[in-house]
């Protein structure tokens, strides 16, 4: 939080000065009215006109100070929040990962939006909090010029009042952090349920899904209510204490006027200044609440920014003349793939298949073992550089909003490559079913398309990357058998001469591979063509053909 706000120090300083000028002008108004009344009583017409002119000038100054001060404060807050959003987004998208560990996607969205906004609001709170403090001090100075007892009362009463505000704001800060944590978890579950809506309906698990969300939502609601109660109590206490403080000032001013220690105009100025103090003192209430919530949000943002990376080390860049030879030795698993091979990998345990994808993508490094690409250990390569030559695509993939063409090309691939990739993945058939063809817009992550249609577009996107080494994990599970066979032969043709690994149990895909590696119980059980393994290995038949 400190760094984000420090970057906006110029705007915060300018807006604080302008807001302070506005508050000083507001405090000057009741004081000048008292002066004008005294001059009117004394009968000095020239002085009266002069002070009326001063009052008019003060009104003009405080009006413009408020306008430009508020604008600068809001700009500082928005820019601080924007800066934090970019930093959180960069951290989440970092090549080395780690920020997503233990956090649902919805929770990360909540941190990148609502939490960063609350931190940005601290800039506004600093501006108006500073202006409120200066306003109270300036009011005390004006009261000192009227009466020393009144001025001392304000000056000596302000520090205890601010200390009390800070102390009673502590519970709000703690409950605000709890509220934000529960809210983020509820948002995360909601996002997961929406993304998996078709699966939930297919399994007829709507009631279980709603029950899960309801349970988390109730916890978030309870935390929000507790936080709101604490905030209401906090503001109520601040307003009550501030009201009592103002009442004491007004009573003391009345007593002094009754004794003749101050004039009628000075009494009016004193009462007016006491009424003016309602604004700055009430400001302390919401400023304290914003600071408490901002600190809680800052800790959540800091936790994401400081999250340890999933893979450390490895700064070398990948050789541009990549052949595509892979040597994977992890625990009891030993797999070697020659350059340009189309290899199928069958894992009896789905967790092993997912692990291989993560290891080849370098989303994780093996605890025991070594993976080499053209004789270079993956752990020695920068993840971003590695992924430029080796693309490993997980089974579950998301599509971005935009046209089918842009979803496939990601605005990087040439039109020829995109066209070939769409044909190979049979995504061109998906485009033909839509009115605008490949220029049809995919809204909300292509939720209106079937699972098979989305999967074909995602496969086309992977093929359009034209990576020297491509790893695909179950790319056709939602596609019918006829379409799958067509895709298999086209993928083989498109990827000819480049290393391709199909981690799948699909007979159609495995049938077009050069050879298949069967993994069982963490080790290589068999290695041969699809036909050989289907005829001679019971485990293979149970895994692939059952």
**Sequence-separated (6 or more) residues with CB below 8 Å from residue 498:** 324, 340, 467, 468, 469, 470
What is the domain class of 2-305 according to CATH? mainly alpha
Q: Is the dihedral of CA 286, 292, 295, 299 positive or negative?
A: negative
Domain-wise residue ranges, the chain: 2-305, 326-545
> What Å distances lie between residue 261 and 149, 150, 266, 515, CA to CA?
11, 11, 10, 104
pLDDT of residue 86: 93
Question: How remote is the C-alpha of 393 from its chain's centroid?
Answer: 24
pTM value surpassing 0.75: no
Q: How far apart (Å, rounded) are the C-alpha atoms in residues 335 and 326?
A: 8
Does residue 472 sit in helix, strand or coil?
strand
pLDDT of residue 415: 87
DSSP assignment of 274-316 equals: HHHTHHHHHHHHHHHHHHHHHHHHHHHHHHHHTPPPSS----B
Name the strand (E) or helix (H) holding 501.
strand 499-503
Q: How far apart (Å, rounded) are the C-alpha atoms in residues 491 and 474?
A: 13
pLDDT of residue 200: 46
> Strands, DSSP E only, in 319-401?
326-330, 333-337, 342-347, 369-373, 376-377, 390-393
Structure tokens at 311: 């893979």
Q: How far apart (Å, rounded) are the C-alpha atoms in residues 77 and 309?
A: 29
Spatial contact of 142 and 31, defined as CB atoms under 8 Å apart:
yes
pLDDT of residue 258: 78
Q: How many CB atoms lie within 10 A of CB 205?
A: 14
pLDDT of residue 464: 93
The DSSP call for residue 465 is: T
Residues of the chain falling short of pLDDT 70: 1, 39-48, 158, 162, 165-166, 168-231, 234-235, 444-447
Q: How far apart (Å, rounded) are the C-alpha atoms in residues 479 and 427?
A: 11
pLDDT of residue 504: 95
Spatial contact of 453 and 476, defined as CB atoms under 8 Å apart:
no
Beta-bridge partner residues of 335: 328
Query: How would you class 247 by CB atoms within 10 Å of its CB: exposed for 0-12, middle for 13-18, buried for 19 or more?
Result: exposed
Spatial contact of 30 and 276, defined as CB atoms under 8 Å apart:
yes
DSSP assignment of 508-546 equals: HHHTTSSEEEEEETTEEEEEE-HHHHHHH-HHHIIIII-
> What Å distances lie between residue 117 and 12, 275, 356, CA to CA?
16, 33, 39
Q: How far apart (Å, rounded) are the C-alpha atoms in residues 432 and 424?
A: 15
pLDDT of residue 84: 93
Per residue in 175-223, pLDDT (tens digit) is 555 655 655 555 555 555 555 544 444 445 556 655 665 666 666 666 6
Spatial contact of 355 and 395, defined as CB atoms under 8 Å apart:
no
Structure tokens at 459: 């496969």
What is the domain class of 326-545 according to CATH? alpha beta
């Amino acid at each position: 939080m400190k760094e984000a706000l420090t970057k906006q120090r110029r705007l915060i300083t300018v807006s604080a000065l302008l807001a302070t000028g506005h508050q000083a002008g507001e405090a000057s108004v009741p004081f000048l009215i008292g002066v004008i009344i005294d001059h009117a009583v004394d009968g000095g017409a020239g002085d009266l006109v002069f002070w009326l002119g001063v009052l008019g000038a003060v009104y003009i100054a405080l009006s413009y100070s408020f306008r430009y001060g508020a604008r600068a404060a809001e700009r500082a807050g928005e820019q601080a929040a924007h800066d934090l959003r970019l930093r959180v987004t960069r951290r989440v998208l970092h090549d080395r990962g780690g920020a997503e560990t233990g956090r649902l996607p919805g929770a990360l969205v909540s941190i990148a939006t609502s939490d960063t906004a609350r931190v940005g609001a601290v800039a506004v709170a600093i501006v108006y909090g500073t202006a409120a403090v200066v306003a109270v001090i300036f009011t005390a100075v004006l009261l000192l010029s009227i009466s020393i007892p009144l001025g001392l009362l304000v000056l000596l009463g302000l520090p205890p009042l601010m200390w009390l505000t800070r102390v009673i704001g502590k519970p709000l800060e703690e409950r605000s952090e709890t509220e934000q944590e529960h809210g983020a978890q509820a948002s995360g579950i909601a996002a997961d349920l929406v993304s998996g809506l078709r699966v939930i309906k297919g399994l007829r698990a709507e009631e279980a899904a709603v029950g899960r969300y309801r349970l988390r939502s109730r916890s978030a609601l309870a935390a929000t209510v507790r936080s709101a109660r604490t905030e209401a109590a906090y503001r109520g206490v601040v307003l009550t204490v501030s009201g009592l403080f103002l009442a004491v000032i007004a009573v003391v001013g009345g007593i002094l006027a009754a004794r003749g220690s101050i004039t009628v105009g000075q009494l009016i100025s004193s009462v007016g200044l006491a009424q003016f103090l309602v604004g700055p003192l009430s400001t302390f209430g919401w400023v304290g609440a914003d600071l408490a919530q901002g600190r809680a949000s800052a800790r959540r943002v800091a936790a994401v920014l400081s999250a340890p990376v999933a893979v450390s080390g490895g700064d070398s860049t990948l050789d541009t003349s990549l052949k595509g030879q892979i040597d994977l030795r992890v625990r009891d698993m030993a797999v070697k793939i020659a350059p340009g091979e189309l290899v199928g990998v069958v894992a009896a345990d789905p967790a092993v298949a997912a692990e291989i994808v993560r290891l080849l993508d370098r989303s994780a490094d093996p605890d025991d073992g070594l993976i080499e690409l053209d004789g270079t250990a993956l752990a020695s390569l920068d993840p971003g550089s590695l992924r430029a030559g080796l693309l490993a695509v997980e089974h579950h993939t998301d599509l971005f909003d935009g046209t089918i063409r842009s979803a496939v090309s990601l605005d990087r691939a040439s039109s020829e490559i995109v066209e070939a990739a769409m044909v190979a993945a049979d995504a061109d058939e998906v485009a033909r079913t839509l009115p605008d063809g490949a220029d049809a817009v995919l809204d909300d992550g292509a939720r209106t398309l079937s699972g098979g249609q989305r999967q074909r577009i995602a496969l086309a996107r992977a093929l359009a990357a034209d990576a020297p080494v491509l790893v695909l994990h179950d790319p056709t599970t939602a596609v019918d058998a006829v379409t799958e066979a067509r895709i298999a032969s086209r993928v083989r043709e498109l990827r000819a001469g480049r290393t391709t690994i199909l981690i799948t149990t699909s007979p159609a895909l495995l049938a077009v591979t050069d050879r298949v590696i069967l993994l069982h119980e963490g080790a290589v059980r068999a290695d041969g063509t699809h036909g050989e393994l289907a005829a001679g290995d019971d485990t293979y038949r149970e895994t692939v053909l059952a």
